[in-house]
Amino acid sequence: MRLNSKGQVTIPAELRQKCGLHPGDEVDVVEEDGVLRIVRRSGTGTRGERLARRMRGTAEGGMSTDEITELLRGD
């Protein structure tokens, strides 16, 4: 890997897949005894939880849970 002029590196796809890293995941760079480690930031939730948090309150139309269930079930 090579450090670019902005101080960024690209984590190879194979390593991202192996470690379960996805676009939008938050990581920290930690220095331990002169060695840099990339670690998943704790407390950020799963990918689905982050998506739900971002989407919360963005729906329009004001449908109730019962109305949505009825719509999805086709009752």
Is residue 6 one of the residues assigned to a domain? no
Is 46 strand, coil or helix?
coil
Q: List pLDDT tens digits, range 4-63.
A: 999 999 999 999 999 988 888 889 999 999 999 999 887 777 777 777 877 777 777 777
Per the structure, how many domains does the chain have?
Answer: 1
| CATH code where residue 23 lies | 2.10.260
Q: Tell me, what's the pLDDT at 75?
A: 58
Beta partners for 36? 31
What is the span of the domain harbouring residue 63?
A: 13-73
Is 8 domain-assigned?
no
Please tell me the distance from the alpha carbon of residue 34 to that of residue 44, in angstroms, as a whole number: 27
Q: Residue 28: phi, psi to the nearest 5? A: -120, 150
